[in-house]
């Protein structure tokens, strides 16, 4: 069986590094992308030693206007054919919209929305030409309801979820799988940025990143369009579908503010 290659953004820690190891464990080469080169190099060395695959490190900032295209060109210059694109890079923010920083939320939109869209656009063309490929996008349970005090973050993840489901439908006949991974709170470095230490999110039971990564990976392999890793979060998703919209927003606010 010929090895394929998975490109993973946000690969320096958390869900990204865990999902990269899952691809490698199944014999796939990996391209590791994040801003922190040292972390990526350490992960690449571990992966190559444990799984005897090739791990290519590309330190890169995807929030810059030309970041996604420069990454695509860097991959092409190395003659790497990406079979699976994992759009995992992203960050959140907490606070009332009138009090949070415009610069932070502009950067969040650039990374959580624009980079996901541009990378998918750039890499999906070759997938269609080959008649095979896969995209795994890290969304969030926050994307299933407008969330006060995370207004921009929840909106970016709603975009990722909607975008993923639409692409999955469009590209199914082309042999391409698109999956949105929608975890609840996960024990990652996500909480180190964006005033999230002021929220109640970290006080909730946190999911293990390796478990979340496994759920996303398995769901992608089975061709699922949306993956919600925990039973509790799946029940919450069902509740959000039947409650009045105003109640859904209030419930979402309580999950982050109490």
Do 53 and 47 form a contact (C-beta atoms < 8 A)?
yes
Does 153 qualify as catalytic in the annotation? Answer: yes
SS3 call for 203 = helix
Spatial separation of the C-alpha atoms in residues 236 and 246, rounded to whole Å: 16
Question: How many residues comprise the chain?
Answer: 258
Sign of the Cα torsion 228, 253, 13, 3 reads positive
Burial (CB count within 10 angstroms: exposed 0-12, middle 13-18, buried 19+), residue 252: buried
Residue 205: name the closest of 187, 193, 182, 231 by CA: 187
List, in sequence order, every residue forming a beta bridge with 55; answer none if it has no partner.
30
For 136, phi and psi rounded to 5 degrees?
-120, 115
Residue pair 212/186 in contact by the 8 Å Cβ criterion: yes
> What DSSP character marks residue 175?
T
Q: Compute the distance between CA of residue 40 and CA of residue 52 in angstroms, rounded to an integer.
A: 17
Which residue among 94, 153, 159, 217 is the active-site one?
Answer: 153
Just list the catalytic residues: 153
């Amino acid at each position: 069986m010929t090895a394929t290659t998975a490109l993973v953004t946000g690969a320096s820690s958390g869900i990204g590094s865990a999902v990269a190891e899952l691809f490698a464990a199944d014999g796939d080469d990996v391209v590791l992308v994040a801003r922190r080169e040292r972390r990526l190099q350490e992960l690449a060395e571990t992966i190559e030693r444990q799984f005897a695959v090739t791990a290519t490190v590309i330190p890169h900032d995807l929030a810059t206007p030309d970041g996604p295209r420069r990454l695509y060109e860097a991959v092409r210059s190395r003659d790497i054919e990406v079979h699976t694109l994992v759009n995992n890079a992203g960050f959140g923010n907490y606070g009332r919209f009138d009090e949070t920083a415009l610069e932070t939320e502009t950067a969040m939109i650039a990374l959580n929305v624009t980079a996901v869209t541009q990378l998918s656009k750039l890499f999906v063309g070759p997938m269609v030409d080959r008649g095979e490929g896969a995209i795994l996008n890290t969304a969030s349970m926050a994307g299933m309801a407008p969330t006060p005090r995370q207004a921009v973050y929840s909106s970016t993840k709603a975009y990722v979820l909607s975008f993923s489901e639409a692409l999955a439908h469009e590209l199914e006949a082309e042999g391409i799988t698109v999956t949105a991974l929608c975890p609840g709170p996960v024990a990652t470095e996500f909480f180190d940025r964006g005033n999230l230490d002021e929220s109640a999110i970290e006080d909730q039971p946190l999911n293990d990143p390796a478990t979340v990564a496994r759920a996303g990976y398995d769901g992608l392999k089975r061709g699922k369009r949306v993956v919600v890793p925990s039973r509790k979060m799946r029940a919450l998703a069902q509740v959000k579908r039947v409650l009045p919209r105003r109640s859904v927003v209030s419930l979402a606010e309580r999950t982050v503010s109490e």
